[in-house]
Structure 1
Amino acid sequence: MSASIQSIRGFADILPDRTPVWRFVEDTFRVLLESYGYEEIRLPALEKTELFARSIGEVTDIVEKEMYTFSDRNGDSLTLRPEGTAGCVRAAIQHGLLHNAQPRLWYAGPMFRHERPQRGRYRQFHQVGVEAFGVEGPALDAELILMSGRLLQALGLDDVRLELNSLGSSEARAAYRERLVAHLQAHADQLDDDARRRLETNPLRVLDSKNPAMAGVIESAPSLLDHLDGASADHFRRLCAMLDAAGQPYHVNPRLVRGLDYYGRTVFEWVSDRLGAQGTVLAGGRYDTLVEMIGGRPTPAIGFAAGIERLVALVEEAGAAPAPAAPDAFLVVADEALESEAVSLAERLRHAMPGLQLRLNTAGGSLKSQFRRADRSGARFALVLGEDEAAAGAVTVKDLRGERPQEQVPVARLADVLGEARQSD
């Protein structure tokens, strides 16, 4: 016997006992996002490597270490998407969606990063992303943040907190970077290897370090909020006022940065303490320069992304996950000679009752074994087709979960009886 083939490390199967909670999360996002006027866009998983190097930043961890990049037969460098924003912006430019318009888009699907698998983070992971274009003022920031909070609330996640910051303009960040680097260099003996590397490439990411040995150095670093340009400071003040007026609690965290180069001004995260060191549930911010970086006209934009694996884990822990759907009925075939009639009957019922979840026994077996299968399936009713029933043009209906008396029902009335039973539950 050949050795069995296992899945690739960090690429997880999602088994049937867990897909209901995945659908719950995805459907909750879809319904609520569409209620805010967002339209779905479906994006390819494979893009030109240049797209991510140009947008994310060539010296970020994602581009340097984590991307799945390869050359195809034509010698073109291609990459499995590590995040969704760059591809969404590319599509919006390519297809003219930004021309005299302010599109609001959402997408969902797998992303790929070659990093150490851990709880809630895999090498193939799934995200829901939201992108809104063409609006510069803080009202859109406020609505998008409040919408993201409503999404988490709709999933039953009440123990998450909102953290908020502003990264200001690129000019303000450049001036702040000089002060930050000077501070970090003065404490170089307290920096870990990762921080020393980032000191030369992306020093703002040092502020995001989770190394407790560096907490003092980070806490004593100059605050970016004290170095904002006037327009960004006013934008942030007005945003905070809008969140206050909406009654939305938040914590201003001057150490909050995002890991991608394209962010500026507003950044935010929803955080949970139930996910260990990787506590971010949903995160996003403004990226007003990205459209131009990718080749479009200057266009303000803001968005966020949420990891579905993490949301699923939190929903399950909170006890908000829906129970797996059980079939409405299980059709037991008492005689092999009646299999053809049973298949036909099952199809007539499905036609008469759209949405009926009916499982047909196709594996043979004794009546006793078929009833065991019916019980294990969780079905409400067992429908029994035997010689007597076939001769009478009827089916025996046995209630497996309630106290409805067993009865023989004419096939012509079967859909009505099942429908009445479903309405009375």
Structure 2
Amino acid sequence: MVDRIQSIRGMHDILPEAGAAWSWLETTIRRVVEGYGYQQIRLPIVEKTELFARSIGEVTDIVEKEMYTFGDRNGDSLTLRPEGTAGCVRSGIEHGFLHNQMVRLWYTGPMFRHERPQKGRYRQFHQMGAEAFGMEGPDVDAELILMTSRLWRVLGLQGVRLELNSLGSAEARAAYRDELQDFLRSRRDELDEDSRRRLESNPLRVLDSKDPGTREVLREAPQLLEALDDASREHFEGLCELLSSAGIEYVINPRLVRGLDYYSRTVFEWVTDELGAQGTVCAGGRYDALVSQLGGRETPACGFAMGIERLLTLLEAQSLLPTLAGPRVYVLSQGAAARREALHIAEAVREARPELGVQVHCGEGGLKAQMKRADRSGAEVALILGEQEVAEGMVTVRALRGEAQQTMVAQTALLAELLRHCPIDQEGH
């Protein structure tokens, strides 16, 4: 017996029964972000490894431990993208559409990190991201946060809260890094093993520790907000004022640092308590130095990314997912002539009303067996064609939901009869 090949650990199939929810969420996201003037960009899944080492940071967990990196036949080191911002910036520099421009972009697709799989964290996962270039004021930071807030309202999500912080300028952050490092060294024995490792290489990441003992030590640590330069403080206060005036509630979290080295000034997260340890639904901030860091001219930038799987899990927990989409009309036939006619009628209905969705029974089977399949399909109406219907140019229409009704109508009157059983609203549903 031949061994079966299974999917790679942490990389899951999205089965048909989940497809309706994915399509609905992706369509909803597209409508919201494009309503703010953001244009879609499609980026390669594979990039040069150097792109992520230079942008994310060589001493981050992602670059050190989590990237899928391999050599190709030309001897180049390539990596499956672990996030989307770096590729977006690389594209902008390569094609010259960032300098002295105000550009708003969005993208979606799979990302890859070799993490320990658990609920809400996978090795292949999907993100939607939005990036805004060429705007240095806090208004675009606010716009991105307002966009995500609107998405939560459109989806009907509850219990998602906004946390904010500012990382300040590179100079202020470097001075704070030294101060924090001195403090942590004085309490080194009280830190968890991972934090002790980060203490020397990337001490700001210790602020993000989930270890209870380390978090207790951090209560007494110096705060980055107190070390901000004047320009960063003014920017952050401006953002807070814009959010307050827009009615957006937020909490300032001085320990919020994010896991990517390219962030500066604003950082934010939308978090929930309903997903356990993986409670971050959406996160982002400013990365004003990244374009020049990757070889372009200095360009202010801000963006965010959200996890599609986590959003779907949260929507499911709040009973907000749509039911499985399927055909509204199912066509049955008996006999060779009726089978040919069934295909013609189905095509005519699809041409006139493509939003209805029409499925034709294919293969053998008596009418009783076909009716069972029609009922299981979730369709609202069955169209039945036999020798009599074909000879007389008629179709038998049978309602499958509610009180069973059956009538025979002329093919020329079929569409009106279908719309009586399957009304379509103004949005085409």
Matched residue, 2:370 = 370
CA shift at 1:356, angstroms? 2.7
Matched AA of 2:111: M
C-alpha displacement of 1:336: 4.7
Partner of 2:308: 308
Instruction: Check conservation: 1:394, 1:408, Cα contact below 8 A.
Output: yes
Q: Partner of 1:181 in structure 2? A: 181
Instruction: Give the Cα separation in 1 of the matches to 2:9 and 2:41.
Output: 29
Normalising by structure 1, we get a TM-score of 0.97
Distance (Å, rounded) in 2 between the aligned partners of 1:117 and 1:131: 28
Q: Report the secondary structure of 1:59's partner residue.
A: coil
| CA root-mean-square deviation | 1.3
Which residue number corresponds to residue 330 of structure 1? Answer: 330
The one-character-per-residue Cα deviations of 1:80-107 (angstroms, maximum 9, x if unpaired) are 0000000000111111111331100000
**2:16 aligns to what SS in structure 1?**
coil
Cα distance in 2 for residues equivalent to 1:246 and 1:347: 50
Q: Show the counterpart of 2:100.
A: 100
Q: CA deviation at 1:282?
A: 0.3
Q: Which deviates the most, 208-217 or 33-42?
A: 208-217
CA contact (8 A) 2:99 2:134 kept: no
Residues in 1 aligned to 2:348 and 2:151: alpha-carbon distance in whole angstroms: 40
- Write the distance in 2 (CA, Å) between the matches of 1:359 and 1:92: 44
Residue type of the alignment partner of 1:219:
R
Equivalent residue, structure 2, for 1:160:
160
- The whole-number CA distance in structure 1 between the counterparts of 2:2 and 2:70 is 30
Structure 1, unpaired ranges of 5+: none
Partner of 1:64: 64
Q: Which residue of 2 aligns with 1:191?
A: 191
Residue 4 of structure 1 aligns to a residue whose secondary structure is coil
Aligned residue identity for 2:73: R
Code of the aligned partner of 1:186: S
Matches within 5 A, 1:244-323: 244-323=244-323
* Cα separation, 1, equivalents of 2:11 and 2:233: 43
Partner of 1:389: 389
Please state how far the C-alpha of 1:20 moved relative to its aligned partner.
1.3
CA distance in 2, matches of 1:243, 1:329: 48
SS of residue in 1 equivalent to 2:247: coil
Aligned to 2:348: 348
- Unmatched segments (≥5 aa) in structure 2: none
Query: Match of 1:282, SS?
Result: strand
1-structure distance, mates of 2:352, 2:261: 56
Q: What is the SS of the residue equivalent to 1:236?
A: helix
The normalised TM-score by structure 2 is: 0.97
Report deviation, 1:404.
6.5
CA contact (8 A) 2:134 2:300 kept: yes
User: Is 1:203 paired with 2:174?
Assistant: no
| Segments of 4+ moved more than 6 angstroms | none
Name 2:7's counterpart in structure 1: 7
Q: Deviations over 1:154-199 (max 9, x none)?
A: 2221211100000000110111011111111111111111111101
The within-5 A match list for 1:45-124 is 45-124=45-124
| Deviation for aligned residue 1:386 | 0.7
Question: Paired residues, what number?
Answer: 425
Distance 1:271 1:99 in 2: 34
Q: How far does residue 319 in structure 1 lie from its aligned partner after superposition?
A: 1.1
The 3-state SS of whatever aligns with 1:10 is coil
Q: Secondary structure at the match of 2:128?
A: strand
CA displacement, residues 19-55 of structure 1 (integer Å, 9 cap, x when unaligned): 1111122111110111111000000101011100110
SS at match of 2:264: coil
Alignment partners' CA distance in 1, 2:4 and 2:346: 37
- Whether contact under 8 Å (1:336, 1:364) holds in the other structure is no
Q: Distance in 1 between matches of 2:348 and 2:225?
A: 67
